[in-house]
Amino acid sequence: MEKISNDCLQKFKAVNDVKDILSGKWKVMIIASLSVFGEKRYMELQRIIDGIGTKMLSKELQELEINGLIKRTVMDTKPITVKYELTAYGLTLTPIIDEMASWGIQHRERVIKEMSAK
């Protein structure tokens, strides 16, 4: 059996770290939404991200904030308004999200083309 190099192990660990931070159905969509639309209030995010419930959105936003990817700002309004935006660190994920979207478009076109050929 071939020994796995330290470089390869480091890469696997790094990919696993990213997977842990972005795991779940909604985190990537939240980051993508804030990347495309910029700063958004809680209810705006819930409307943009089709299918996410209020508890799940709160949980995912909290985890993203803990990991330093988004900033939560409580506005001094009545009623209280909370807005969310990507941090500078969170913005470093934008090229990755863009590549995922590009790959997703190509994949969808490929699948449709293959299905049409049958």
| Spatial separation of the C-alpha atoms in residues 37 and 43, rounded to whole Å | 14
Going from N- to C-terminal start, the domains of the chain cover 6-117
Q: Residue 88 has what DSSP assignment?
A: H
Q: What is the pLDDT of residues 47-63, one digit of tens each?
A: 999 999 999 999 999 99
3-state secondary structure of 84: strand
Tokens representing residue 80 in the block: 């209280």
Tokens representing residue 18 in the block: 């990213």
pLDDT the model gives residue 61: 97
Whether omega for the bond prior to residue 95 falls within 30 degrees of 0, making it cis, is no
| Spatial separation of the C-alpha atoms in residues 94 and 32, rounded to whole Å | 7
Q: What is the pLDDT of residues 8-44, one digit of tens each?
A: 999 999 999 999 999 989 999 999 999 999 999 999 9
6-117: CATH number:
1.10.10.10
Decide: 18 and 67 in contact? Cβ < 8 Å: no
